[in-house]
Structure 1
Amino acid sequence: MTCDYSVLECLLKAPSKAEVVKLCREVFTAVNRSTVQLPDTLLSHCQQTLQLTQPQARTFVQSLGSILKRAVFQGSTDPHEVVALFPDDFHKNLRDLISKIIIDNMAEWKSQAVNAHVSLPKLADFDWRVDVKTASDTVARMSVPTCILSLQVESGSEQGEATRGQQTVNVELSKETLDTMLDGLSKIRDQLSSVATR
């Protein structure tokens, strides 16, 4: 996605600063969720608010989205670094306004960008119980306690949707398997702690 800086100057036609803030938020949300098709409601809003044709509105949304995504990828809230994203001949007041909007929304947009990526399943909740078998076809398996671990797993979302799929996975663990797992988890905890304190 390339940025046509000249088309961004149509933001000067916006009726208020609040409208510019609203447009920036809507554009970031739209381009963050989809790389294929922009919402018609956003394009028509830009057309009406900024007096643009449909092709101009599409170019505007893509250009503004490009600079907003680049700013979030850079991740800096230092005003000098955000201002450096614009060319030197860009309208100064508009550059300062967009830079302020980027800095004010950085935390929220970073969160949106992270949530929009495909991710591994996450552990949402778990429960456990101890079962003792009282009937079996072999005497050796009777009265042997086992741990039933019930994991509630939240599947990753491709487009950062609010609704994520959840499923329950049940695992039966013998005492030996549970000991091995707990030992492994202790090692993982220690490694994470050592990395976090560096």
Structure 2
Amino acid sequence: MAATISSEHFTHLQLLLKAPSKDAVRDVCVRSHREPGGRLAESTAAALSISTSQAAELVHSLHVLSHHVVFNNLSSPEQILDLFPTSFHQSLKNLITKILLENSPTWRTEAAGVNVSLPQLTHLDWRVDMVRGSDSVGHMSVPTCLVQFQVEDPSPSAGTESVSTVTVELSRESLDTILDGLGRIRDQLSVVAGK
């Protein structure tokens, strides 16, 4: 979730008034979205003739603002302008808004590409077995279904395999319940796809 924007963030953004050009403002805004680290703070401090700590606060504030715009899908100038306090410098507010609007579609696409997603089913296998007996019952004949799922994790954690296999044993009643649920999902997907 995106961080909340505070009045302190907007105070730090006023430091952009010291920028030598609009291109310098654009450069800091675009780079702060992707790399809000120390090197950017140092180069920003040199470009704007401010201290490194002020530059770090400015870069962080720009980072928070750009992520807020992307996370909340703000796509009109009015939506972004409404974020700024009324006392904020008008020309700088308009410039930042313009830069955010120009870059947010690209940032949104990049964010969608790197976000964590759920594991994907890659293979499914099944078989029906007959359980003939157990420790408690000497002879029985109960059919069960063994379903083997092979899933791939698109973003595995360090030291784990990206593909894992899960085997599930289902009774006839459990299988009926699952099939009924999958039938409902299929019907809902058909309705949505038909619209």
- The TM-score with structure 2 as length reference comes to 0.65
* Cα offsets for 1:110-164 (capped at 9, x unmatched): 46667888x7x713232122446699877847xx684532231427xxxxxxx54
Q: Which structure has the larger Rg over C-alpha atoms?
A: 2
Instruction: Confirm or deny: 8 A CA contact 1:129 1:149 kept in the other structure.
Output: yes
Q: How does 1:80-119 map to 2 (within 5 A)?
A: 80-110=78-108
RMSD: 3.9
Q: 2:69 matched to 1:64?
A: no
Instruction: Confirm or deny: 8 A CA contact 1:130 1:145 kept in the other structure.
Output: no
In structure 2, what is the equivalent of residue 45 of structure 1?
43
Instruction: Confirm or deny: 8 A CA contact 2:84 2:93 kept in the other structure.
Output: yes
In structure 1, what is the equivalent of residue 185 of structure 2?
188
Structure 1 residue 195: Cα displacement: 7.5
- 1:196 and 1:100 map into 2 onto residues whose CA distance is 36
**Number of residues of Structure 1 aligned to a counterpart in Structure 2:** 180
Amino acid across the alignment from 1:27: S
Residues 197, 16 of structure 1: alpha-carbon distance in 2 compared, 3 angstrom cutoff: farther
Amino acid across the alignment from 1:79: P
Gaps of 5+ in 1: 31-37, 156-162
Amino acid across the alignment from 1:185: L
Q: How does 1:2-151 map to 2 (within 5 A)?
A: 2=6, 3-14=8-19, 16-30=21-35, 39-110=37-108, 122-131=118-127, 140=141, 146-151=145-150
In structure 2, what is the equivalent of residue 168 of structure 1?
164
Percentage of matched positions with identical amino acids: 27
* Cα offsets for 1:15-42 (capped at 9, x unmatched): 5544433322332335xxxxxxx62222
- The TM-score with structure 1 as length reference comes to 0.65
- 1:67 and 1:116 map into 2 onto residues whose CA distance is 20
Residues 182, 132 of structure 1: alpha-carbon distance in 2 compared, 3 angstrom cutoff: closer
Question: Secondary structure in 1 aligned to 2:119?
Answer: strand
In structure 2, what is the equivalent of residue 160 of structure 1?
none
Instruction: Confirm or deny: 8 A CA contact 1:128 1:147 kept in the other structure.
Output: no
Instruction: Confirm or deny: 8 A CA contact 2:12 2:57 kept in the other structure.
Output: yes
Question: Secondary structure in 2 aligned to 1:122?
Answer: coil
